[in-house]
Amino acid sequence: MNARYDLVIVGGGPVGASLARALAGVDLAIALVEAVPPRDPGQPSYDERVLALAHGSRRIFEGMGLWPRLAPHAHPIAHIHVSQRGRFGATRLHAHEEGVDALGHVIPTRAIGQALWAELPRQANLDIHCPARLTALELDATAARLHLETDDGPRTLEAALVVAADGGASPTRRLAGIDSEETDYGQSAVIATVTPERPHRDTAYERFTESGPLALLPMSEGRCSLVFTVRRDEEDALLALDDGAFLARVEARLPHQGGYVRVSPRRAYPLRLVRARRLTASRLALTGNAAHTLHPVAGQGFNLGLRDVAHLAEAIADAHRVGTDLGAPELLAAYERARRPDHDRTIGFTDFLARVFVLRAPPVGHLRGLGLVALNLCAPLKRGLARHTLGLTPPLPRLARGLAP
């Protein structure tokens, strides 16, 4: 007999695990399928990355009741400073001007993983299949069948609805026959934790340079998380530098920040844009990186995925309340319609930043400088940027208002 569920979530990274958690209070039979145990050193989601969580994402975690577990690991961002190397022009955002206590929080992905996976095994409506890998998928009008490879041999699960949260390469997306647009930026993000000599004053810096953007996010104990974007052909050389030479490169790109005294081991990620052409198929919805993998320049990838979670959890909870089939085409079409504008806006904004700030022609650099100055001076433009950064663009689902779905 196949195990039968209302909902099967494939992928227990931060997006899939958040969806499972968001539905903790809903009387459904849910399964979470994850290939790599969360504490395994090879776990691809919960690694050295440190994420900038938008204010709106904090609200979503509050709605899930998870924020008290995350708060001790989260450092507030009080100010954001955006500038470009070797050119005039800068724009600044301040939490107090936006009427919030923090524009966002900086948190290690491992802390998100630990908080989520501490709660999930206790969740009464959830079965966890881990380690278990989805290898085949059948989708038809009556049900979805998921074929898994587990340590105890093959297993098959049936579900009314499958949610793919299995990352940028998404086997579920591929098995469902959903095409994606893919652009290789030809860049890599080298990440590390650095300790500046001067206090960071809870300020996040985004600095655009000729080879790509560089971000510095404030953390506890005076440390900062660094995301140093370089052309792919510069990656090996940057990783091979000794610590002193590496820090000198960082200092050269952020001169007004002073020097640095320490750096952690470095790690590189190739950067590409992946966007699914559709968000749904029969009895299937895509979320998180499975739907959209972004350049990290504006720190939007997980925030966008968490907003997918908030919308989908609400649609699922509402359907359950009125007794509708969770895999009904109307529910899936409404999810696709609800998420498209946010995806278009966030992907468009991120892709624009990733491309326009590496163009080298002098007039372009000048215009970028003017753009940053204009953004800083023009209240409506700045407000638009702030709302986007805060992750508070309406319509807000219940979770994003701090309520249960």
Q: What is the contact surface with ligand FAD in residues (CB under 6 A)?
A: 10-16, 33-36, 44-45, 49, 51-52, 133-134, 165-167, 171, 189, 191, 227, 269, 288-289, 296, 299-303, 305
Cβ 88 to ligand FAD shortest distance, Å: 27
Nearer to ligand FAD (CB atom), residue 49 or residue 368: 49
DSSP conformation class of 72: G
219 Cβ contact list (under 8 Å, min separation 6): 50, 75, 106, 193, 225
65, 191 contact by CB (below 8 A): no
Cβ 171 to ligand FAD shortest distance, Å: 4
Cβ 368 to ligand FAD shortest distance, Å: 22
Nearer to ligand FAD (CB atom), residue 270 or residue 341: 270
- Which residues, in sequence order, are bridge partners of residue 31? 8, 127
Cβ 188 to ligand FAD shortest distance, Å: 9
Q: Write out the two tokens for 377.
A: 């001076």
Nearest to 298 by CA among 263, 348, 240: 348
55, 78 contact by CB (below 8 A): no
Nearer to ligand FAD (CB atom), residue 155 or residue 320: 155
Q: Which residue has the tokens 């997006």?
A: 15
Nearer to ligand FAD (CB atom), residue 239 or residue 328: 239
228, 191 contact by CB (below 8 A): yes
Nearer to ligand FAD (CB atom), residue 6 or residue 166: 166
CA dist 395 → 261, 276, 307 (Å): 44, 22, 11
Q: Are strands 203-209 and 79-84 parallel, antiparallel or unpaired?
A: parallel
Q: How far is CA 298 from the centre of its chain?
A: 10
Nearer to ligand FAD (CB atom), residue 49 or residue 382: 49
Cβ 67 to ligand FAD shortest distance, Å: 16
User: Rounded to 5 degrees, what are φ and ψ at 76?
Assistant: -70, 150
Cβ 156 to ligand FAD shortest distance, Å: 14
Cβ 11 to ligand FAD shortest distance, Å: 3
**C-alpha–C-alpha distance, residues 50 and 111, integer Å:** 9
Nearer to ligand FAD (CB atom), residue 95 or residue 192: 192
Compute the CA torsion angle 354, 360, 362, 365 (nearest 10 deg): 20
- Which residues, in sequence order, are bridge partners of residue 177? none
Nearer to ligand FAD (CB atom), residue 213 or residue 288: 288
Cβ 12 to ligand FAD shortest distance, Å: 5
- b/e 162-188 (16+ beta carbons within 10 angstroms → b): bbbbbbbebbbbebbebebeeeebebb
Cβ 273 to ligand FAD shortest distance, Å: 12
Nearer to ligand FAD (CB atom), residue 63 or residue 167: 167
Secondary structure (3-state) at 225: strand
User: Rounded to 5 degrees, what are φ and ψ at 187?
Assistant: -125, 160
161 Cβ contact list (under 8 Å, min separation 6): 6, 7, 8, 144, 283, 284, 285, 316, 326, 327
Nearer to ligand FAD (CB atom), residue 62 or residue 89: 62
Q: Which residue has the tokens 């499958």?
A: 162
Cβ 48 to ligand FAD shortest distance, Å: 9
